[in-house]
Every structure is written in C-alpha cells, then in structure tokens.
Structure 1
Amino acid sequence: MRIAMSLVALLSIVSIARADDLETAQSIIRSQEKAIVSDDSATAYSFAGPPITSMYRSAAVFMYMVQNGYAPIYRHKSFELGVAKSLEDKISQEVHIIDADGVAWEALYVLERQTDGSWKIISCVLSKAVGV
C-alpha cells in the first residue's frame, strides 16, 4: 500500500513539474512572438536554441530569416496557442495563426531543455492550415 501511495505522490510531482514546464515553454513562445512583432531581434534571438543559433549566427540574420521565411509569425492578426505535449526534455507546442491577409497557418514549435535547465526553441515548422 505504501508503495502505491508513494507512486501516486511521485506521479503527481512529475505531473506538476511537466505542467510548470509547459507554462514556461508557452511563456517563451509568447515572449519571442512579442519580440518578433516589435522588431526586437536581440530578444527574439535569445529564445533560440543551438540548432537555430548555429544556422543563424546573429540576431540580425535570424530576424531577416523570420521576416522573409516566417511572415505569418512576423506579422499576424492572431497567434493562439493550441495543444502542447511534453516528452522527456522536449516540448512541442501547436500554434494557430491568422496572418495579416487573413490566411490560416499552423506552427509547431519544439523546445528543448538545455544543460543549464532553461528551455530554448529548437525548431518551428510553419504550414498553411488545411481545410480552413
């Protein structure tokens, strides 16, 4: 009986930790979105993880890529968080976007826990929403 109660308590702690991690990940995505919309390249770049920073070596180059390759994130009417999932040291977060022209898009962000315990965005896949 004690083992079962200990297991339930442990699972509750893991669940709370994951909920905190999801909230942190969502806050990071929202903060980066606000920085991008405000043309604050340094802040936007600060949320990027090593796979992104190794491809885009400066905040200016990163922002240029966002402006030209991720226009629906750069300028949009709506940016709404969807379903989030956590698996070990990674979190995926769906985002529903309506761009400046009213076109619906879906983004899938992936964040990874860094060795210092922080979370960084390691990818963002953007595609037009299907059936909208």
Structure 2
Amino acid sequence: MEVTDNDAITIRFVIEHQLAAFQKDDAQGAFAFASPAIQAQFGTPENFIQMVKISYPAVYRPRSVFFEEITTIQGNITQPVLVLAPDGVPLRALYFMEKQPDSTWRINGCFVVSVEGKKI
C-alpha cells in the first residue's frame, strides 16, 4: 500500500494525539486512537492505559519525540518514532498503523526497540 502525503500527516496526527492523551492520563482519548483489534484485546480504556504505563514507559511519558520516515515492516505501514525514555535512554517506537474502512488511521500495535546511543 502506498502512503500519500496526507496519510503521513494523518498518521503523525494520530500518534501525537495519543501521546498527548497519555501525558494527561486520558485513557479514553488514548484508547480512541487504537485499532478495533487493539480495543478488543484490552476491552477498556483503563486496561489499555495501565498496560502502556507498565510495559511502555518510554511511550507513556517520553522526554522527547522525533518522527522518522514512514516505512513498511512485514507488510505493515510503520511510523518509526525516536523517543527519549524518562530515564534518558533513546529508543525507537515502531507504530504499526492500520487504515480503517472509513479511511481513518488507527494504531494497530507499537514495538519499542533499542537505538545505538548513550544515556542522556
């Protein structure tokens, strides 16, 4: 699938707004940007935000974020985002994106991988 410039802008908007919702502990707001499959997996906004809080502290409370170029990983449209974790460790969050039947974009998973670098 080809990603248009408008798609790229929308994908960034979705991720930025989910990150902003995490900053405000807005479980409902953050959950709204998750794909239907992720919503079904966690059931409630509270379950979802609790999982992110525990398993993804770098995404839940990043010190900074930097969007890289969208790519495809194993057939998934993926937005890599460099994040600086609360403890100062640089990480790359790989957001798997899914276009919905109504043409909106939702987050269909996020994987955090290490980045070569030192603690800042």
Matches within 5 A, 1:52-131: 52-85=38-71, 91-131=77-117
Question: Mind listing any 5+ residue stretches in structure 1 that lack a counterpart?
Answer: 1-14
Matched, 1:36 2:22: yes
- The percent identity for this pair of structures is 30
Moved over 2 A (4+): none
TM-score when normalising by structure 2? 0.88
Larger Rg: 1
Question: What code does the residue aligned with 1:31 have?
Answer: H
User: Alignment partner of 1:33: what SS?
Assistant: helix
Question: Mind listing any 5+ residue stretches in structure 2 that lack a counterpart?
Answer: none
User: Alignment partner of 1:92: what SS?
Assistant: strand
Q: CA RMSD in A?
A: 2.0
Q: Whose helix fraction is larger, Structure 1's or Structure 2's? A: 1
In structure 2, C-alpha distance between the alignment counterparts of 1:95 and 1:59, rounded to whole Å = 23
User: Alignment partner of 1:130: what SS?
Assistant: coil
User: Alignment partner of 1:55: what SS?
Assistant: helix
- Once the two structures are superposed, what CA deviation does each residue of 1:68-104 show, in whole Å capped at 9, x if it has no partner? 00011111211111121369x9531000011111111
In the other structure, the counterpart of 1:5 is: none
